[in-house]
Structure 1
Amino acid sequence: MSEQAPHVQKPGWFTVNVFNRGVAWLTRRGISVWGSRVLEVRGRKSGEWRRTPVNVLTLDGRRYLVAPRGHVQWTHNMRAAGGGRLVVGKRVEEFTATEVLDDAEKTAVLRGYLKRWKAEVGVFFGGVGPDSSDEELLAIAPRHPVFAIAPVQGA
């Protein structure tokens, strides 16, 4: 992983107060918007559940969470907690998470994520898209944490 300073793009007022709340509201009621889920992860300091809407990418039979806005609070909490819950309506899936630390391994995941959700999150990737070269994806990989997720067995 690169030694760059952590990258964070804070959401604007509209995103926090309208878009994220709207997507979360629909998702909590069982309506998934473009594959959305509400991510619940325990706060690394408070231990309280924190919630944010996310998109889960399935690629080659594995599932991933990508942080389009960079090293944000949920990514720090995920590193500390090692997993969390994904919620759609009344369906709750507990999962474990392993961060993908090798930036080269992230390129296919970032490409797949951008192919699916570029219209929604492309602005956070600095002009890099699903048709960009591996080198361009590799250049932005350190700014976008990626977690491989797997369901908790027996949950």
Structure 2
Amino acid sequence: MSDTTAHVKKPGWFTVHVMNRSVAWLTRRGISVWGSRVLAVRGRKSGEWRTTPVNVLTHDGDRYLVAPRGHVQWTRNMRAVGGGELHLGKHVEPFTATEVADDAKADVLRAYLKRWKAEVGVFFAGVGPDSTDEELRAVAHKHPVFRITAAPNA
């Protein structure tokens, strides 16, 4: 598992107050922006639902959540509870999550950056979709990745 004390690059004011809120507002109304969903995960201490907008990546038949900003609260909660819900409008999809080992992240990170580099590239310290596996593995510990699977009886 990744070091949860790794440095987190916090998003700027515009991202937090304009972009995240706009994407979340649209997603809550059923409009997906490039794969956006509202992630709901129970707090590891409070047990209360916490939400944040995320991009769901489909790669080689599996679906993933990538944390471009690093080891943030939703990743810590996901590790503790092992799943959550993805919301798109009124549709709610419960899921389970398995964290991907750092050595196995290169292809997923490459696919994620290919799709969303313009949005999240600043958080990857110069690494992009054309980077080598070695370069991607060098930053993998900074970016948690979870493979998600629809929960039974969902």
Q: TM-score, normalised by structure 1?
A: 0.95
CA distance in 2, matches of 1:9, 1:154: 37
AA in 2 matched with 1:146: V
RMSD value, Cα: 1.3
AA in 2 matched with 1:149: I
Alpha-carbon contact 1:4-1:142 (below 8 Å) kept: no
- In the alignment, does 2:39 pair up with 1:39? yes
Q: Could you say which residue in structure 1 is the equivalent of 2:145?
A: 146
Partner SS for 1:7: coil
CA distance in 2, matches of 1:78, 1:124: 20
CA distance in 1, matches of 2:130, 2:53: 26
- In the alignment, does 2:109 pair up with 1:110? yes
Deviations 1:71-108 (A, max 9, x none): 0000000001100000000110000001112x120000
Change (3 A) 1:2 1:83: closer
Task: Tell me the CA shift for residue 4 of structure 1.
Answer: 8.6
Q: Could you say which residue in structure 1 is the equivalent of 2:128?
A: 129
Q: How many residues matched? A: 154
Task: Tell me the CA shift for residue 7 of structure 1.
Answer: 2.6
Q: Could you say which residue in structure 2 is the equivalent of 1:91?
A: 91
- Give me the identity figure in percent: 76
Q: Could you say which residue in structure 2 is the equivalent of 1:19?
A: 19
Q: Could you say which residue in structure 2 is the equivalent of 1:7?
A: 7
Q: Could you say which residue in structure 2 is the equivalent of 1:70?
A: 70
Unpaired stretches in structure 1, ≥5 consecutive residues: none
Q: TM-score, normalised by structure 2?
A: 0.96
Unpaired stretches in structure 2, ≥5 consecutive residues: none
Hey, which bits of structure 1, 4+ residues long, moved more than 4 A? Answer: 1-5
- Deviation larger for 9-18 or 74-83: 9-18
